Chains A and B, each alone.
Chain A
Amino acid sequence: MKPLLEARELHRTYDLQGEPVHAVRGATLDVLERDFLALVGPSGSGKSTLLHLLAAVDRPTSGSVRMRGRDVSSLPDRLRARHRLLNVGLVFQRFHLLPMLTAQENVELPLAEAGVRRAEREARAAELLARVGLDDRLRHRPGELSGGQQQRVAIARALANRPSLLLADEPTGELDRTTGEGIRRLFAELRDDGTAIVVATHDVHLAEAADRMLWMVDGRLGEEEP
């Protein structure tokens, strides 16, 4: 099967007060359709940086990221933003919902950016929120929702434009164990529905729910626990 996403020899080096910091060193991986992949490793090992490279949020210092055969890492900023909007769903540890918008409006945001008409995006947002179990919270603002509910809204937002790849950075990091369990189940269901998922996590339970686990230490990616 041809991979959905191919990352080849990714390197990302930052300049920190004149000193080079090698956040990712030669990472290579394939993500298949319906894959559920967990990136685990200690803090500062480069998991978030790798996730940003896979999402085309950041450019690699060298190496490439191809999605369905298209090199997305070398696209200009505007096209990379469009690629993320339509093909990649992103979930953050701190949710980053817009506090002045309701749950439904937050989910509508990427749809509006993609040019979807109002009636269609309202219906789609309501459907997605129902999918994550929040059909009774459409008109609630983030401040009126619990952490778990906010993360569900963030996941619904990430799925708004029907991306084939969902990337989540510590999605259960701010949640208690019970709430985290709900998110784990939701990811498993999404994978079953056909979405490929890559999560960077410290959460052992979430990592164990994944089909594959990759370890990251000092920017190096491996299949074996070091």
Chain B
Amino acid sequence: MILRCALREPRRHPGRTLLAVAGVAVSGAMLLDMLMLSNGLQTSFRDLLQDAGYEVRVSPAGTLPLDTEATIRDATRLLADLRDDPGVARVAPVLAANLSMRADPTSDGEAERSVFALGVDPANQGVFRVTGGRIPGPGEILLGEEPPPPDGGAPSATADSVSIAAFGALGSGAGAGARRMPVSGSGKFLYVSESEVPVALELGTLQELTDRPNEVSFVMVEAAPGIDPDTLATRLATRHPDVRIVSIGELVDQAERRLSYFRQLAVILGTVSLLVAGLLVGTIASVSISDRYGTIAAARAIGISRRSILATLLIESLAQSAVAVALGVAFGLVTSRYLERILSDFPGLPEAVRFFVPDGRIAAITVAAVLVTAALAALGPAWRVTRMPIATTLHREEP
């Protein structure tokens, strides 16, 4: 009977109920988005780093991988030392450079493109995945997957070979120092932003093209089975103080520290939206209950207990909030995709980094937070009405 009363009462005032549900749904959506935002960057950054399968990163002192254009000099000695370490399973050096590229044979009018080139060891690399063809060998090039054209048409065809040279060295015609390279295949690059055009070359080829024969931008290191990456990173860092050696865990921690303002902002906005939901539920509950003072006082007069009335009013509020938060979660997921598209245009962000990562745990926290807030917000007016003196209320309500 309690359930029947609680579930039917909101239907008596559809406009008011709709307003309450819509308001709580919007607050729930905002809370979900803010919770996703507070966690999304870290989660996707961690996933991105772990995806490559190398747990330790070596970069020039004072920098993070691909953070600056600085390189590690005397890389040959460092790589040899890393490979000799018994705690190391695999070493994947990477050199990054901006190059100029043009499809070959060229049409007269075709302009050169600036590309972001990554030189890798074909046997050990973790910066791209081959999606067609094969890893580039010496003198070959792998092109990044072309994003689909914005008009939704078919992607442009991949050339068989390209001309490539140090950045700005192509000029018109063949260009001095340009090399013609067959395309070995295409791939999806992990650490490049949407605005960059990535290509991959064999490390030696890129070192030769950029005249940096003994330099790398960073090195990815995989720990041997049973070796703790954090311990390995600490040990290697002690042995190589001239470079920066950190584990993925440490990188994620650093990223979290750098992005803490983001988390704080998201948590504050999430809390505000929860507060708004609470105020809305409290206001609607107060209005709805004050409309029924006479009926509630009469119910108590005929012997309905305070507990039954309290339970009815709380279930009534929770039922509306449950519908609202379900709609809010759906709405929040939709808006997060829209917001993701806006925020992913932030310059320099790897394409794989996401601001909003859908997560069942976060959805559950949102639902629980909204329901607890709704229950607490409705508890005040519900408690008050059960404490009102029956006789006085009836005197006031009866003519």
Contact = CB atoms under 8 A, between A and B. Distances in A.
Interface bin, chain B: 20 to 34
Nearest to B399: A93
Contact of A92 (B304, B306, B389, B394): B394
Given A57-B391, A58-B391, A108-B1, A98 B301 contact: no
- Of listed A14, A57, A86, A112, residue having the most chain B CB within 10 A: A57
B303 A110 contact: yes
Contact of A90 (B12, B301, B392, B395): B301
Contacts of A2: none
B362 to A, nearest CB: 36
Contacts of A14: 392
B391 A52 contact: yes
Contact of B303 (A96, A100, A113): A113
Given A85-B303, A110-B304, A99 B12 contact: yes
Interface in B346-394: 389-392, 394
Interface in A32-60: 48-49, 52, 55, 57-58
Contacts of A173: 399
Interface string B278-315: 00000000000000001101111111111010000000
Nearest to B2: A112
B390 A57 contact: yes
A78 B305 contact: yes
A131 interface: no
Given A55-B301, A58-B391, A81-B305, A105 B397 contact: no
B394 A113 contact: no
A141 to B, nearest CB: 10
B77 interface: no
Interface residues of A, number: 40
B397 A94 contact: yes
A110 B302 contact: yes
B4 interface: yes
B224 interface: no
B225 to A, nearest CB: 65
Contacts of B9: 100
Nearest to A99: B12
A42 B297 CA distance: 24
Nearest to A113: B304
Given A85-B303, A113-B308, A98 B5 contact: yes
Contacts of A58: 389-391
B388 to A, nearest CB: 12
B211 interface: no
Contacts of B304: 81, 85, 109-110, 113
B295 A81 contact: no
Interface in B246-297: 294-295, 297
A101 B8 contact: yes
A65 to B, nearest CB: 13
B151 interface: no
A122 to B, nearest CB: 11
Interface in B65-99: none
Contacts of B300: 81
Contact of B302 (A78, A100, A157): A157
B11 interface: yes
B5 to A, nearest CB: 6
Interface in B1-42: 1, 4-5, 8-9, 11-12
B72 to A, nearest CB: 74
A153 to B, nearest CB: 13
15 contacts: A52-B390, A81-B300, A86-B303, A90-B298, A92-B394, A94-B398, A98-B295, A99-B295, A100-B5, A100-B9, A100-B12, A101-B5, A108-B1, A110-B303, A169-B398
Interface pairs A-B: 5 shortest CB-CB: A85-B303, A96-B298, A100-B8, A58-B391, A112-B1
Given A82-B303, A113-B308, 18 more contacts: A14-B392, A48-B398, A49-B391, A55-B301, A77-B306, A78-B305, A78-B306, A81-B304, A81-B305, A88-B303, A89-B302, A98-B295, A100-B4, A100-B9, A100-B12, A101-B4, A110-B302, A169-B398
Interface of B: 1, 4-5, 8-9, 11-12, 294-295, 297-306, 308, 389-392, 394-395, 397-399
